[in-house]
Each structure stands twice: as C-alpha cells, then as structure tokens.
A = this chain, B = another copy of it.
Amino acid sequence: MSSQTGGETTREQIENGAQLMPKFDATGLLTAVVTDASSKDVLMVAHMNAEALALTQQTGIAHFWSRSRAQLWKKGETSGNMLNVLEMRIDCDQDAIVVIAKAAGPACHTGETSCFYRRLEGEALVKVTS
C-alpha cells in the first residue's frame, strides 16, 4: 500500500508479503469465516468492512458488517454470545479471513452452536449432530 515504493501492489506482495493488504470487494467487504478454536467447526460466515476488521483487532471481540441491517454488528451485543478472537488468518489473495474464536454461546441466532446444522442429502436437508 502506501509504504510500498514503485507504485502498484504486485501479486507477489499480496500472496507472499508480510503486510496486511485486505482486498475489500466492490461493497467494501471481506468474507469472514468463523471457526471454533476447540472443535474447529465452522460456526458462521459473515462479512467485515474495514471498520469491523479494525475493531475486531483492537478489541479481540468479533465485529462484522451486517448486510441486511446495513450497519456495524458487534456479534453477541444483544444475545451476549460474543466471539472472543484468538487468531485471524487471511487467504492468498487477501479477500477472505478465517476468525478462530472462542464462542461465549451459540453462534447461530437459531440457538444452534453453528449455523451449519444441516447437511445436504440431495435436495433434502438433514440435521447434523456434530
């Protein structure tokens, strides 16, 4: 970014560099995948804008951008089921992030531990137990 000399950011810098250069999409968002630090299950998929990412880094509590409400979303602010972030990992092209977290309660608004509580069986969905 600004600290790079010589103009444009290269693919090499993005993929192999040691500097965070998040590639927000046209709506200013990264895809965020939250996993449980203990079970390693995927808990939820959400989105982060620059502010949500910064707040997550500053506070250690996961923040997202709610696309449906079009506002910053501190996960668990009303339910109490916050996500304590232990580590974040970014992908090769820096447009997606894995948030490894300790969940204070169910991650899903339905009360399920994970939002991914149904597996596909053709066109049918079957509740999973793990």
Q: A98 contacts the other chain (Cβ, under 8 Å)?
A: yes
B19 & A45 in contact (Cβ 8 Å cutoff): no
Assuming A90-B120, A90-B125, is B31 touching A45 (CB within 8 A)? yes
- Scan residues 82-117 of chain A and give those whose CB is less than 8 A from a CB of chain B: 87-92, 96-98, 108-110, 112, 115-117
Closest B residue to A33 using CB positions: B33
Q: Are A116 and B91 touching (Cβ within 8 A)?
A: yes
B116 touches A98 (CB 8 A): yes
Query: What is the chain B residue whose CB lies nearest that of A118?
Result: B90
Decide if A92 touches B120 in the complex (CB within 8 Å). Answer: no
Q: What are 7 A-B contacts with C-beta separation under 8 Å? A: A16-B110, A17-B125, A33-B42, A57-B120, A89-B117, A92-B117, A98-B116
Give the interface of A toward B (CB within 8 A). 15-20, 31, 33, 35, 39-42, 44-45, 57, 87-92, 96-98, 108-110, 112, 115-120, 122-126, 128
